[in-house]
Each structure stands twice: as C-alpha cells, then as structure tokens.
Chains A and B, each alone.
Chain A
Amino acid sequence: MSRLTAERSIRAMAIVEVEGLRKLYGERVAVADVGFRVEAGECVGLLGPNGAGKTTVIKMLLGLSPPSAGTVRLFGCVLCAATARTIRSQIGVVQQEDSLDPDLSVERNLAVWATYYGIAVREASRRADAMVRFAALEDRRHARIKTLSGGMRRRLMLARALMNDPSLLVLDEPTTGLDPQARRLVWERIRQLKRAGTTILLTTHYMDEAAQLCDRLVIVDGGRIVAEGAPGALIAEWVGAEVVEVYLPEQDGERLAQRLAAGPWRSEQVGEVVYVYLRDAGMEPALRELIDGAEFAHRCATLEDVFLRLTGHSLRE
C-alpha cells in the first residue's frame, strides 16, 4: 500500500483513469469505449438513464466484471488479478442493491466489515462506534437490519463503505428509492465527506443529485459517453440560460409548432409541448409575440434539460 502512496506522490496522477472500456454480453454491447478520469478530491458523477451501462462500468472498475477491452487504472496502478486486492483495500463502495448483512446488528455490520480489510478486532469496534454516529444510528446500534428504514440502511451502507478509510468512494445510485427527507440526509453526509477532501465517483439518474453533489459529470447513454463537464458548463453548452416551455393549444397548435420551429432559436417538440432553448436570459420580443395567448412557462435551464436533450425524451425500459 505504501508503494501505491509513494507512486502517487511522484506524479500527480488521477485517482481513476479509465480508457477505452468495453463490455459485451454476447452480442449486446453494454459499454462501448468509455474513458474518463477522476482527479484527487473531485466528485464525479456518471449520469445516465436506466440501462445506460453505469453499473457495468462500476463493476469493471472494482474488478467484479472482466472488461471485454480497455484498461482501468486506479491510484496509478493498472487493475488486474495481481493488483485487485491492494486496489480494493483503498476503495469504499456503496452498491446499488441493499447488501447489508441481515444476520448481524447495525454495529456488528460495521465491525465485521472492517475485518474483511484486515483491520484488527479492537480497532474495528472503535471505528464502528464512530461510524454509528456518522450514520446517525446511535439509538439503533443493536438493531437488526430488517427493522431499519430505507434511509437508515443507506446511511449504514455509506458508513460501512468508510470503515477502511478509503481514498476513493464509489457510490452506485446512493439515494435510489429514498424519500426526499432521507435523500437530503444522505446528501448531507456525502457533502460532509466532500468537504473533508474525499474523492468520490457516483452514479445517478437524478438530476438534482448530480447538480447538488458533483463537480463534474460524465453523461452516458447506450453505453457511450455523450457529454462531459461541470454541471453549469454543460447547461450553458447544451441548453443555454433559459427555457420556455410552450404548451400547444388544441386549436392551431400545429401551426404554432411550425412557427416556433422556424424561429431563430433552438427548439424541440415533445408531444404537446415545445421546448425553446434561449442562449441568453430574457425572452426576445419575437418569441413573446409568437406565443402570446398560448400557455407557457419561462424558467432557468437545468441539468434535466441537458439530460433530456442528450438522451432523448422517450421512455427507457
């Protein structure tokens, strides 16, 4: 482990470096030529619709799925059978599915987890004690897992991922299935870790989560990277400053849609709604005049607009 640390200090290398990563399941291409970097202290989000290949990328990153092509470099070391154990010892992982140990209590889930990292029993219970507090589960420390709420389980998963004091935290859809209050508490904990300088790679399909937590986003769709950048820069590049959603009236809706499409702005029609993307703030008079009388909403551009522009509006199943 000291060798890894030493190597890292020699040349300031990325914590995660993925190049030309591919994964084929028979004929089906799950991941096609994905490459990205995560620098130390960064929080990078893999954003994409369900089935985009996010979890497959994460699995390849952890050595849990052999890539069909490409390389994964973590902490400057190429991931292979010989390095997997050392590399994994420095990563904390929150998997998508609930993988807490139902046979053990809250506290023992943490302490037993630490032993998998070769942490001595006494030190393991000391850390478990601290992490029970981090997860805000002090009064549930002896509880069985099945008595915990979804939010508590997620917090415990996050706490468990920190037991080995990881240099990289990998979060696969950390708040999927949680109610808004529970999500906010998990975000708060993740922000706390960010402030402490933890390097984080997370996957999500929630725009607000990506916008709130990530310094940089890698948007994937159909196993490919379709865009990459800071949330603000992505919005400016792909959408602009503001969006006008025009709800087409039943009468003459078709004509309005045609006139909107012909205007000197970018627009997109999805069913009965036309999205007009404005590069700068403020509606130009021509547009205002055109939609006068129609129902519309004028709002700031968001990451959701970027996402929908890039990955389309059709349902993904």
Chain B
Amino acid sequence: MRDLSFGALCVWRRNLESWLPFLGSFLVAALGNPLLNLGAIGYGLGRFVTAIDGMPYPAFLAPGLLAATAMYSASFEATFGAYTRLAEQHTYTAILVTPCSVADVVVGDALWAATKGLFSTTVLLAVAAVLGLVPHPLAVAVPAVAFLTGLCFAALGLAVTARAPSYAFFDYYFTLGIGVMFFFSGVFFPLASLPGWAQGLAWCLPLTHAAALCRALVRGDLSPVLLGHLAWLGVVTFLALLLAERLVRRRLIV
C-alpha cells in the first residue's frame, strides 16, 4: 500500500468514463430498489407498526435505507464490476504495465465504488426529502457518510473479489455477508429489540454504524457518539483496503 499514487485517481476516472453511458439504467436501479423497499415496507407494512422513537415507520426506515443503498451500490461495483475488470477483461493486468501500481488499481476501484454509493444515496436522499422524510438540514452531510460507507464495502468487496474463482462465488458473500447486514444493522428495526448477545454482534457490523450516522444526521441528533461510528467505519475501511491490496497483489503478481 506504500506505493499509492495519483494513478488511483486515473483508475477512478477510467471507471467513471466507462460508466457514463449507463447513467440511465443506473438511475432506474438507484431509485427503483429503495423506493420499492420504502413503499412496500415503509408505507405498506409500516401501517401495522407503531411509531419507533416517536417517528412514524417510514421516517425511521428512510435513513437506514440511505446507508444500505450505499452499501449495496458499492458492493455490487466492487464484486461483479471489479471481477469483470480483474478476470474477464484483463483491465487490471493491462494497467499494471503502466506506472500504476496494484495499490493504485485497488484504491482507484474502491474510490469508484464508493462514488457510486454516494450517487445512489444522494438520489434516494432527494426523493426522501420530497416525501418529507428528511426533517433536518444536517442531512446534507449524508452523502459524505454514504461515500465512507461505500469505501468500506468497496474494500471488503474487493477483498472477496480477489479470491473469487467465478461470479457464482459472490452468492456466498451477498447472502451470508451483505444480506445478513441488511436485515440486522438497525435499518428495519431498532437493535434494542434484539437479545443482548445479538446486539453485541450487530454493533460489530459496519452497516450498523453507517445507519446510525445517517439516522442521526437526518434527525439532527449531533452527539460525540457519532465520532465513534465514524472511527469504527474508518478502521474497518482501512484494514479492508490493506487486505484487498494484499489479496489482489497475490492474485496478479505471480
């Protein structure tokens, strides 16, 4: 990781440029999936749910979905997208003959996946604001949290991608990793309703901290605890990036 350079930004730029033609399908996915969740679960199922912490259910769910959207968007890009570049198109191997290093490629790809997380969350944030689910102006900081969340899941995804023998491998990751986090990180219900041991486990999951951050910003609840959430996300991101770089190096430099 010591040989990180501006090359990472070139890799980021390359990904941005190759993605721009697909902006239309991206917007459909970025709007569609969370809106389905918000509509069916927030407004549909939510009618049978009493207010949580004084919030109607859609208002509780929306900030959690902002975090989960960043997670999903970055995770897809860092697994299926990155695997295509790593194993199918030889994009990484090609770039490595230029002055760009493995660290540049990994960090560039992670920054790109994080950017997609930021885009997805920002689109949803705008929609949530229109629906009146964003009561506090501090919510303008949500995209920054989405970027960090995206970076964290991008790094984790890239580490998985580096070891993946085929696309099918990601079924494990999305079911056992991302799927579990989606349902048990305080997105759909407060962690307090879980048994104590499960709460302890849930607090280890990065999405728990991302969801808590988004919820606090949307409601304007500033407190020092937020720094703890940020720190945890930051530490997981940093370690996952180190791991991803090692594993990608091991795969490509043989």
Contact = CB atoms under 8 A, between A and B. Distances in A.
Residue among A64, A97, A116 with max Cβ neighbours from chain B (10 Å): A116
Interface stretch (A39-47, A81-89, A215-223): A81-89
Interface residues of A, number: 30
A113 interface: yes
A304 interface: no
B7 A116 contact: yes
Contacts of B25: none
A91 B97 CA distance: 8
Given A84-B101, A101-B91, 6 more contacts: A85-B99, A88-B97, A89-B99, A100-B94, A115-B10, A164-B98
Nearest to B100: A116
Contact of B17 (A65, A95, A112, A118): A112
Nearest to A82: B3
Interface string B185-224: 0000000000000000000000000000000000000000
B249 to A, nearest CB: 10
A81 B5 CA distance: 14
Interface string B70-111: 000000000000000000011101111111110000000000
A98 B252 CA distance: 16
A106 interface: no
Interface residues of B, number: 26
Interface of B: 3, 5-7, 10-11, 13-14, 17-19, 89-91, 93-101, 252-254
Question: Which DSSP category, helix, strand, loop or mixed, fits chain A's interface?
Answer: loop
Contacts of B11: 116
A95 B92 CA distance: 12
A65 B3 contact: no
Given A102-B89, A115-B13, A118-B6, A62 B97 contact: yes
Interface in A42-87: 62, 64-66, 81, 84-86
Interface string A232-244: 0000000000000
A117 B99 contact: yes
Nearest to A145: B89
A251 interface: no
A99 B91 contact: yes
Nearest to B95: A116
Given A115-B13, A116-B7, A116-B10, A93 B97 contact: yes
Contacts of A62: 97
A201 to B, nearest CB: 13
A304 to B, nearest CB: 31
A55 to B, nearest CB: 12
A101 B18 CA distance: 9
